[in-house]
Amino acid sequence: MKLRKIAAAVGAIVVTASAALVSAGAGQASAAPAFKMPFPCGYTATAATWQGHSPELSVDWQKSGITGDAVLASAGGTVTRVADTGNTSYGKWIEIDHGGGWTTRYAHLSAQSVSQGQKVSTGTKIGSAGASGGVTGPHLHYEQLLNGADQKVVVDGKSVPYYGKTDFTSKNCGGGGGGGNPYTPKEVCGSGFSVINEKGLGGAGRVYLMYNSGTGQNCVTTVKNTKIGSKSPASALLEVQGGDRKTDKGEFSYYAGPVKQQAAGKCVKWGGSVGDKSFTSAFQHCGS
């Protein structure tokens, strides 16, 4: 009798403790991020929902020929899982933690293009749609979760109807709306550098001229503000008067550069481009 009473008391304590944990978790929850459709701007797909889907509130994004199409982050955050369950369940899948208890999951991918711990922005390409795992055909299985529990999916401010098939057109168009490039010019050039001049590229990106007074080096980087996370044309240049022009030009996911040159006491020309928007300065900043 005595033992049983003790066991019951212990049980009660455990229940109380876990109830406290649950309420603490709920208290930390914040408003849902402004989730966007997990496909590029203008892409149309059908959101399919049905009873018995696992988990129940998941959405299967369907479109003929979807295999290989880009899958984008619905909101900014940190990639917490890049996993592969083989021919069962999710197959190749990705989870992103958006903070405030919110996560999203993307499953049955044909390719994964981010790594665990990576910072992503709204619209960062994280992989390609496919038919990996336990599926009967290609589609993107998608979940929005709060503290691990699946929630009714909302994208671009619109609730996905339960249950049925509804067409959506993506407004995951980059440049604002809670997105943004996760890289700062300081991260690109290094901690000893400070911004001494900058120039916007009509919303497409921003060119930064930095200087490190400890080493006498200038550094130029162009940070993208469009197609963040997807490779697109960008460049950064730095020319020291009387010397060579150094240019970093190509297809970049986040930024061009860093381009560094020794320039203490010399004038520099600096600039960069994103897509068809470009800027090149005159020779300036001759003193530092």
Closest CB 48 distance from Zn ion, rounded Å:
8
Mark the segment that binds Zn ion (CB under 5 A) among 110-118, 139-147, 218-226, 263-271.
139-147
DSSP H helical ranges for the chain: 2-28, 185-189
Q: Does 227 bind Zn ion (CB under 5 A)?
A: no
Q: What is residue 250's three-state secondary structure? A: strand
Looking at beta carbons only, is 105 or 260 nearer to Zn ion?
105
Q: Does 141 bind Zn ion (CB under 5 A)?
A: yes
Closest CB 276 distance from Zn ion, rounded Å:
40
Looking at beta carbons only, is 58 or 247 nearer to Zn ion?
58
Closest CB 106 distance from Zn ion, rounded Å:
11
Element (H, E) at 249: strand 245-252
Number of residues that bind Zn ion (CB under 5 A): 3
Half-sphere exposure of 218 (CA within 13 A, CB side): 29
- What is the number of other CB atoms lying within 10 angstroms of the CB of residue 109? 26
DSSP 137-206: S-BEEEEEEETTEE---EETTEEPPSSEEEEEE-----SSTT---S--HHHHH-TT-EEEEEEE-TTSEE
Looking at beta carbons only, is 60 or 95 nearer to Zn ion?
60
Render the burial of 16-26: b for 16+ CB within 10 Å, e for the rest: eeeeeeeeeee
Q: Does 105 bind Zn ion (CB under 5 A)?
A: no
Chain position whose Cβ is nearest to Zn ion: 141
Closest CB 2 distance from Zn ion, rounded Å:
52
Mark the segment that binds Zn ion (CB under 5 A) among 19-27, 53-61, 151-159, 240-248.
53-61
Backbone angles phi, psi at 207, to 5 degrees: -100, 135
Looking at beta carbons only, is 134 or 180 nearer to Zn ion?
134
Q: Whose structure tokens read 């988990």?
A: 55
Mark the segment that binds Zn ion (CB under 5 A) among 52-60, 122-130, 266-274, 276-284.
52-60
Looking at beta carbons only, is 108 or 260 nearer to Zn ion?
108
Q: How many Å apart are CA 55 and CA 60, to the nearest integer?
A: 11
Positions in 55-94 near Zn ion (CB under 5 A): 58, 60
Half-sphere exposure of 8 (CA within 13 A, CB side): 5
Mark the segment that binds Zn ion (CB under 5 A) among 133-141, 161-169, 193-201, 223-231.
133-141
- What is the number of other CB atoms lying within 10 angstroms of the CB of residue 157? 9
- What is the number of other CB atoms lying within 10 angstroms of the CB of residue 54? 9
Looking at beta carbons only, is 62 or 215 nearer to Zn ion?
62
Q: What is residue 12's three-state secondary structure? A: helix
Closest CB 37 distance from Zn ion, rounded Å:
16
Q: For the window 158-177, what string marks contact with Zn ion as x by the rule CB under 5 A?
A: --------------------
> Residues in the site for Zn ion, rule: CB under 5 A?
58, 60, 141
